[in-house]
């Protein structure tokens, strides 16, 4: 039996990763500092939950050994805005914590580690005149703690692959949206959809209103499926240490508005205004800035198949939010 440890396993993305893996009949252990078991919509797919801290290497080693862990998905991290507010803690959690996961995996011969980075490492579009990037482009991450720690971890991931021959795989996530997080940068996007879908006044956040934005954000269910696929894909298909991970085609603000309108058949409470330039924050993030991210290798090499596109995803989230009212 394959036993999989998911750090940050009860968070927004972790919930769907755990559920997707459990749906395949695998044993899943969610390792979380502050578990939130209520995030799991289906109790039948709820993993075993272990309270733990990635900053404690001995604790990680003990859990991996006692649970017979063969695969690890590492999601635990301090996010963008929290990292800016607490840079020192961001370095501890995002760098030391991640390296503890890598080191524990090396010491226990874990078969595969999937680490989730972010396309935020690419930085400003001014560095890329062709307005598109792929895995071969060198990152120019902005001077913020989150992006810096993610790039540091990418380099360590490659070091562990090269130095020890370990099966470590990094996914540069284009972003995730959907139920479960309603504060912070992407949270405001989710809150907009929640409000629009439940009949409340809703205004598209300016961070996502740039008319030339190229968002490849996965819906959380699709993100869960993508990460689970990378965790289990045959080793012979993995041709590189790093893959961009996002939707097969980009979308922009008007596509989002149109999908919401089609789902609710009422746009009287929706306010939106496209902008000619991205906000200062979004100008440094691939996608919202207008810088496109080529994710084709995820599909061509790893063989991931996208199932839920924007229209279906918006309808799914609105149905979820209406049930929660």
Distance CA 167, CA 161 (A): 6
CB-based contact 59:52 (threshold 8 Å): yes
CA-nearest of 225, 90, 112 to 170 is 112
DSSP letters for 82-137: HHHH-HHHHIIIIIIHHHHHHHHHHHHT-SEEEEEEEGGGGB-GGG-TTSEE-TTS
Residues 6+ apart with CB under 8 A from 280: none
Task: Compute the chain's Rg from CA coordinates.
Answer: 19
**Residue recorded with tokens 């490659």:** 158
Distance of alpha carbon 142 from the chain centroid = 19
**Residue recorded with tokens 């003990």:** 62
CB-based contact 252:183 (threshold 8 Å): no
Q: Tell me which of 146, 160, 185, 243 is the catalytic residue.
A: 146
CA-nearest of 67, 39, 71 to 52 is 67
| Vertex 46 angle, CA 41 and 47, to 5° | 150
Strand 71-74 vs strand 48-51: parallel, antiparallel, or unpaired? unpaired
Is 146 an annotated catalytic residue? yes
Q: Which residues are catalytic?
A: 146
């Amino acid at each position: 039996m394959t036993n999989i440890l998911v750090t940050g396993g009860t968070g927004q993305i972790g919930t769907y990763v755990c559920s997707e893996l459990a749906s395949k009949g695998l044993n899943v252990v969610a390792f979380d500092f502050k578990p939130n078991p209520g995030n799991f919509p289906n109790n039948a797919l709820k993993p075993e939950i272990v309270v733990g801290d990635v900053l404690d290497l001995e604790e990680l080693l003990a859990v991996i050994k006692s649970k017979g862990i063969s695969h690890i998905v590492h999601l635990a991290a301090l996010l963008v805005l929290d990292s800016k507010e607490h840079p020192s803690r961001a370095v501890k959690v995002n760098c030391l914590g991640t390296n503890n996961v890598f080191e524990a995996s090396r010491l226990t011969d874990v078969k595969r580690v999937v680490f989730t980075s972010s396309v935020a490492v690419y930085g400003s579009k001014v560095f890329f005149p062709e307005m598109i990037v792929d895995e071969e482009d060198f990152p120019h991450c902005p001077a913020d703690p989150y992006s810096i720690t993610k790039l540091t971890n990418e380099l360590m991931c490659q070091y562990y692959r090269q130095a020890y021959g370990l099966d470590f795989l990094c996914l540069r996530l284009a972003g995730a949206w959907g139920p479960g997080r309603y504060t912070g940068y992407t949270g405001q996007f989710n809150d907009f959809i929640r409000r629009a879908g439940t009949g409340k006044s809703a205004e598209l956040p300016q961070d996502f209103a740039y008319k030339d934005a190229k968002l490849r954000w996965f819906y959380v269910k699709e993100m869960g499926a993508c990460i689970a696929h990378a965790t289990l894909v045959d080793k012979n298909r993995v041709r590189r240490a790093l893959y961009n991970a996002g939707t097969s085609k980009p979308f922009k603000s008007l596509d989002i508005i149109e999908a919401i309108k089609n789902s609710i058949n009422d746009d009287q409470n929706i306010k939106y205004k496209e902008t000619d330039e991205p906000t200062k924050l979004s100008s440094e993030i691939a996608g919202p800035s207008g810088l496109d991210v080529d994710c084709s290798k995820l599909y061509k090499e790893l063989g991931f198949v996208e199932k839920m596109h924007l229209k279906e995803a918006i309808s799914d989230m609105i149905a979820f939010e209406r049930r929660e009212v």
